[in-house]
Structure 1
Amino acid sequence: MTTMTRRSSNPLSEMLTWLDTEAPVGLPGLGLLALVRMEDYVEDGTYVLRAELPGIDPDDDLDISVDGDVLTLSGERHEEQRDRNRHEMHYGSFSRSVRLPRHARAEDIAATYTAGVLEVRVPIDGPTEQPQKIAVRKTED
């Protein structure tokens, strides 16, 4: 007779927790802590970048910089010490960089932070270039 047992948590979640918090010295999370989920698009002549950054104070924990045509978001999410049953939130330093579109006016960047989402808006002078589709010609062997 087979008895089914139910796991109290997700094994993948347990593995990621081990990688982030209990990995041997020299393997600090294998880069998993620095994940910042983002989306970007062009809207009415403005490049818009949105990043999920819940649990930070943008005045103290966030730095936005531009070096040439690269926009970088960096900062730190601070952990509150609590007795937990589950630990899936990521804390510590983070950094993400994106290349700005051609003709972006970095000097006119505006950023807002609302409900855990950072929105960075960069005006663009001139037309935005769309990717060019290249036709592939099929040949017979």
Structure 2
Amino acid sequence: MAGALSPRHRSLFPDLREWLEGGVPGFPAVWAAAAGAHPIPIEISEEGGQYVLRAEMPGLDPEKDIEISAEGETLTVKAEHTECREDKRHSEFRYGSFERSVRLPAPIPEEGVTADYRDGILTVRVPQPEKKESGPRTIAVRRTG
């Protein structure tokens, strides 16, 4: 007998990547695109005391087409990809407005956030807050009343 099929085990909680990327479990990207939501593929990592977000955004002019904003712990990337008015027989390129928000584990600081665009990849670097080492300590108890 050939190998038996085993049931696919699913976690009760969404995958961390889906959570970070703001995806909806069980809602394929194909249907999201058809519904007008244009996902921006991203990857998030931690490098040298920074959160680093990389986003695939080919064919854009970073000075005109990309806008990045921060509020609290949320970093938002917006882009507008306009179609060139050329006669085309066929095109599978995506045009329109794109938006992606990512919630980071700490508030985004006012200073030190940088963004670079190279070869179709947007890289945003956000400084992580300094981790304060706290060892055991004694807390005084005051008598009141």
* Fold match by TM threshold 0.5: yes
Q: Structure 1 pair 41/102, CA: closer, same or farther in 2 (3 Å)? A: same
Structure 2 unpaired stretches of 5+: 1-29, 132-145
- TM-score, scaled relative to structure 1: 0.64
More helix by share: 1
Match of 2:7 in 1: none
Match of 2:36 in 1: 31
Give the whole-Å Cα distance in 2 for the aligned partners of 1:104 and 1:82: 41
Choose which of 102, 105, 115 in structure 1 pairs with 2:106.
102
Deviation of the 1:104 alpha carbon? 4.4
Q: Structure 1 pair 104/126, CA: closer, same or farther in 2 (3 Å)? A: farther
Give the whole-Å Cα distance in 1 for the aligned partners of 2:39 and 2:90: 19
Match of 2:89 in 1: 85
How many matched pairs?
101
Give identity over the alignment, percent: 43
Report the RMSD for the aligned CA atoms in angstroms: 2.1
Output the amino acid matched with 2:111. E
Deviation of the 1:53 alpha carbon? 0.8
Deviation of the 1:106 alpha carbon? 4.4
SS in 2 for 1:31: coil
Output the amino acid matched with 2:92. E
Aligned residue runs from structure 1 range 8-19, under 5 A: none
Give the whole-Å Cα distance in 1 for the aligned partners of 2:65 and 2:36: 19
Give the whole-Å Cα distance in 2 for the aligned partners of 1:104 and 1:94: 22
Structure 1 unpaired stretches of 5+: 1-15, 20-27, 128-141
Give the whole-Å Cα distance in 1 for the aligned partners of 2:107 and 2:68: 19
Choose which of 44, 51, 55 in structure 2 pairs with 1:40.
44
Give the whole-Å Cα distance in 2 for the aligned partners of 1:101 and 1:89: 34
Contact in 1 for aligned 2:114/2:126 (Cα 8 Å) = yes
Choose which of 52, 66, 72 in structure 2 pairs with 1:68.
72
- TM-score, scaled relative to structure 2: 0.63
Choose which of 45, 53, 57 in structure 1 pairs with 2:57.
53
Contact in 2 for aligned 1:103/1:126 (Cα 8 Å) = no
Runs of 4+ in 1 over 6 A off after TM superposition: none
Output the amino acid matched with 1:125. P
